[in-house]
Amino acid sequence: TVGAVALDVNGDLAAGTSTGGMTNKKFGRIGDSPIIGAGTYADNQSCAISATGHGEFFIRAAVAHDICARVLYKKIPLQQAADEVIMEKLVNMKAEGGIVGMSPKGEPVFSFNSAGMYRGYIDAEGNIHTAIY
């Protein structure tokens, strides 16, 4: 699965996710990636999210929307909201994976409870940062 979140000069957030699903999937199985609110969500008031992980759990936890809703209703930082969902809610469900997020101020956020997640961002000075573990 791959995904991206961005903030443009007009202050508009966007999120996108694309995937090949999971190896050996049957019966037309679909995970969270194409599910708005689970694998992808964007709202200028709160955040943009793209998720990757154990799709069935991400759907049940409405991961992307839940993170944005926590930012909006609890008025907490995006990183805290993401960690509440990924590191607590999903861990309690025994689900693995993570998200990349973007705040309305252009702050990139990562949260994952697996050993690694391919990820990267470009900071305010235009420097590129990438990481795996």
Partner 1 sequence: NKVAIAIHGGAGTILKSNMTPELEAAYHKKMKQALSAGYKLLKQGESSIKAIQATIMIMEDSELFNAGKGAVFTHHKTNELDASIMEGRHLNAGAIAGVTKVKNPITLAHAVMVKSNHVMLSGEKAETFAKKQSIEMVSPDYFYTERRWQQLLNVLKDDSDSTQLSEDEQQSVSQASPFMSVQRWPDDKKFG
Query: Of these, 81, 82, 110, 125, which contacts partner 1 (CB under 8 A)?
Result: 110
The 10 Å Cβ neighbour count of residue 8 is: 9
Query: Of these, 20, 92, 94, 125, which contacts partner 1 (CB under 8 A)?
Result: 20
Q: Which strand (E) or helix (H) includes residue 97?
A: strand 97-102
Q: Does residue 1 carry a catalytic annotation?
A: yes
CB of 85 to partner 1, least distance (A): 14
Q: Would you say 36 and 51 are in contact if contact means Cβ atoms under 8 Å apart?
A: no
Whole-angstrom distance, CA of residue 95 vs CA of residue 9 = 36
Q: Does 81 bind partner 1 (CB under 8 A)?
A: no
Residues numbered 31 to 60 that lie near partner 1 (CB under 8 A) are: 31, 33-36, 39-45, 48, 50, 52-55
Nearer to partner 1, 74 or 122 (CB): 122
Whole-angstrom distance, CA of residue 66 vs CA of residue 51 = 12
Whole-angstrom distance, CA of residue 84 vs CA of residue 106 = 20
CB of 91 to partner 1, least distance (A): 13
Whole-angstrom distance, CA of residue 26 vs CA of residue 102 = 33
Q: Does 91 bind partner 1 (CB under 8 A)?
A: no
Q: Does 6 bind partner 1 (CB under 8 A)?
A: yes
Q: Which amino acids are annotated catalytic? A: 1
